[in-house]
A and B are shown apart, each in its own frame.
Chain A
Amino acid sequence: MNRAGVSLPHSIAAHAALIAYTGIALFPVVVVIINSFKSRAAIFRSPLSPPTAATFDLVGYRTVLEQGDFLLYFQNSLVVTVASLFFILLFGSMAAFALAEYRFRGNTLMGLYLALGIMIPIRLGTVAILQLMVASGLVNTLTALVLVYTAQGLPLCVFILAEFMKQVSDDLKNAGRIDGLSEYRIFFRLVLPLVRPAMATVAVFSMIPIWNDLWFPLILAPSEATKTITLGSQLFIGQYVTNWNAVLAALSLAILPVLILYLIFSRQLIRGITSGAVK
């Protein structure tokens, strides 16, 4: 690397800007987390002060652990999210490759068709989806959720990945074809590794609405055995009283798994770039 050294004032300015924005980004999160360790009265008496000996209270976390099977809810959320992501990325990248790589009649229309899904909130199809799941006996299974989330995540995945795949060098693929690689091998061996950063990005975008979704778990899989963490936390939101200690505790805990998934994907993002296999 022979890049010109970054000047010191420049670097300080960059850090100052980033630190300032990080502060803005994290401040409300910190408020939530410190308050999850306080009693209800203390939350509202002085929301900003960190828990002291007098106000430190694990009541929220205790309620969460006592009421319902939160470990199971966590596991359900994780299974649903990971399985859906897997299918979104696999099916989505295949379709995106077909759209980006080949010229065939109806290509643009197919692209538009696959994008229709991001234009209508899937919530509207609830009754028909529920009927479908009742007919196939999938109500109260995690499979039902995985199917819905896969379908819901595909349009965005195809849309973003197709754009990135168009930027993959033709020479590379043609070289592969001359070497006698099948189209499948070209896709899995040559193209996929190159779009890994984009895949990681799509994975991150897709997992958030899945993890945080309340509606489909409520409709399709509300049973005790299939509850997700988001649905489980709703238990504490009542008609007239919300147990904020418990809600904050449950949802603070619920940040952790997504954060870990995010870290895994963002490592992929960097590795995809720096390894630069065929660049």
Chain B
Amino acid sequence: MATIDEPRTRRPFRWHIAVFLAPAVLVYTAVMILPLFGTLELSLFRSANGTRTFVGLENFRTLFLDPRWSATFWNALWNNTWFFIIHMLVQNPIGIALAALLSSPRLRFSAFYRTAIFIPTILSFVIVGFAWKLILSPLWGVAPNILDLVGLKSLFAPWLGKEEYALTTLSLISVWQFVGIPMMLIYAALLSIPDEVIEAAECDGITGTAQFWKIQLPLILPSIGIISILTFVANFNAFDLIYSAQGALAGPNFSTDILGTFLYRTFFGFQLQIGDPYMGSAIASMMFFIILAGVCLYLFAVQTRLRRYQY
């Protein structure tokens, strides 16, 4: 700060900014950033006869140019993109719609609905995996019987075991589990809209659905921006659901393999496959760059253009 001469009056160093930032920055840097970047650094190394040698970008060359590695990588990236698309198309609209319904004034039992819909989000993946495998299983009869009740038994298929359906099924399970998150964020945003704004709209005769589209939606756009980028980040880091439902090999035939499972297998190893932290870090670095690109796009292109209303 002091090195550059500012023509205007120089402000004294604002200690309070440092005080506000210091605890978070310290804990975060020591426990998270240093270990993580220590690991990412490994992507530039390889192990040869037990010693670590610097190989520059060789691991990335392998990842993109070796047909086996690159096929797995692109498969995982595409699956991950599909996973994300489903969340954007299903989870977020449902989340917004539920929040809009819940925030409508004088709705009775709203607290009950809000809690009930949020419960799946607090479940551990072990339970989610068990419950859905049990329900969708062709053997124990939950889904087939329910479909039978509505006369649609012919629609039933062993979805989790079919290459063409497994990923979509898992994406929808994930949507089921996490719809509470966009719902809560949007709900909080809708509640923060001051009553005066709504009342003014009502005086102008804008009510009901029109009110949502014309008044509330523009006001919650920043929050929709946040849920979109959070969904993006969460989806490209996703791992647990696929891992607990389909295992580390993300079957059938790698059709549910996403970047997180690919990374886990490579980095930590699996069964007879020995973990390879070097290639694993290369994959992690790629995931990092993909997510960073998305976040930068959001921070610099989307977020700065969103108009914020101060209340």
Q: A residues within 8 Å of B by Cβ?
A: 1-4, 6-7, 10-11, 14-15, 17-18, 21-22, 24-29, 31-32, 35, 43-44, 46-48, 87, 90-92, 94-95, 97-99, 102, 104-105, 108, 110-122, 124-129, 132, 147-148, 150-152, 154-156, 158-160, 163-164, 166-170, 182-184, 187, 197-198, 200-201, 204-205, 208, 211-212, 230, 233, 237, 244, 247-248, 251-252, 254-255, 258-259, 262-263, 266, 269-270, 273, 279
Distance between Cα atoms of A114 and B98 in the complex (Å): 31
Is residue B297 within 8 Å, beta carbon to beta carbon, of the partner chain? no
Is residue B308 within 8 Å, beta carbon to beta carbon, of the partner chain? yes
B25 touches A114 (CB 8 A): yes
B23 cross-chain contacts in A, Cβ below 8 A = 90-91, 94-95
B191 touches A28 (CB 8 A): no
A-B contact pairs, 23 of them (CB 8 A): A11-B107, A18-B101, A24-B176, A25-B117, A29-B120, A46-B141, A92-B24, A102-B14, A110-B21, A115-B295, A117-B32, A119-B287, A120-B237, A120-B284, A122-B35, A129-B35, A154-B24, A167-B308, A212-B122, A244-B130, A262-B122, A266-B114, A279-B194
Q: Pick the contact of B102 from A18, A110, A128, A208 — CB < 8 Å?
A: A18
Residue of A nearest to B236 (CB): A119
A248 touches B130 (CB 8 A): yes
Distance between Cα atoms of A113 and B292 in the complex (Å): 11
How many Å from the CB of A250 to the closest CB on chain B?
Answer: 10
Residue of B nearest to A229 (CB): B124
B27 touches A187 (CB 8 A): no
Contact A25 to B35, CB < 8 A, known contacts A115-B295, A118-B233, A120-B40: no
Is residue B65 within 8 Å, beta carbon to beta carbon, of the partner chain? no
Is residue B157 within 8 Å, beta carbon to beta carbon, of the partner chain? no
Contact with A along B260-280 (1 / 0, CB 8 A): 100100010000000000001
Contact A167 to B192, CB < 8 A, known contacts A87-B27, A125-B35, A154-B24: yes
Contact with A along B232-259 (1 / 0, CB 8 A): 0100010100000000000000000000
Q: Pick the contact of A151 from B28, B122, B132, B139 — CB < 8 Å?
A: B28
Interface range, B side? 35 or more
Contact A208 to B121, CB < 8 A, known contacts A95-B25, A116-B33, A119-B233: yes
- How many inter-chain residue pairs (CB < 8 Å) link A and B? 274
Is residue B86 within 8 Å, beta carbon to beta carbon, of the partner chain? no
Q: Pick the contact of A233 from B34, B111, B126, B145 — CB < 8 Å?
A: B126
Contact with A along B279-304 (1 / 0, CB 8 A): 01100100110011001100100000
Distance between Cα atoms of A122 and B117 in the complex (Å): 28
Contact A25 to B116, CB < 8 A, known contacts A18-B101, A244-B130: yes
A148 touches B126 (CB 8 A): no
Which of B116, B194, B260 counts the most A-chain CB atoms under 10 A from its CB? B116
How many Å from the CB of B192 to the closest CB on chain A?
Answer: 6
Residue of B nearest to A215 (CB): B240
Which of B46-54, B68-76, B162-170, B181-189 participates in binding chain A? B181-189
B38 cross-chain contacts in A, Cβ below 8 A = 125, 128
A28 touches B135 (CB 8 A): yes
Residue of B nearest to A122 (CB): B32
What is the interface of chain B mostly: helix, strand, loop, or mixed?
helix
What is the interface of chain A mostly: helix, strand, loop, or mixed?
helix
B117 touches A31 (CB 8 A): no
A31 touches B134 (CB 8 A): yes
B31 touches A197 (CB 8 A): no
Distance between Cα atoms of A154 and B31 in the complex (Å): 11
B31 touches A28 (CB 8 A): no
A279 cross-chain contacts in B, Cβ below 8 A = 194, 311
How many Å from the CB of B182 to the closest CB on chain A?
Answer: 11
A87 cross-chain contacts in B, Cβ below 8 A = 27
B127 cross-chain contacts in A, Cβ below 8 A = 32, 248, 251-252
Distance between Cα atoms of A150 and B23 in the complex (Å): 11
Is residue B67 within 8 Å, beta carbon to beta carbon, of the partner chain? no
Contact A128 to B311, CB < 8 A, known contacts A105-B1, A255-B119: no
Is residue B310 within 8 Å, beta carbon to beta carbon, of the partner chain? yes
Distance between Cα atoms of A17 and B233 in the complex (Å): 29
Residue of A nearest to B303 (CB): A163
Is residue B123 within 8 Å, beta carbon to beta carbon, of the partner chain? yes
Report, nearest first, the 8 A-B pairs whose CB atoms are least far apart.
A125-B35, A128-B35, A98-B20, A151-B31, A95-B24, A28-B131, A119-B291, A151-B32
A115 cross-chain contacts in B, Cβ below 8 A = 295, 299
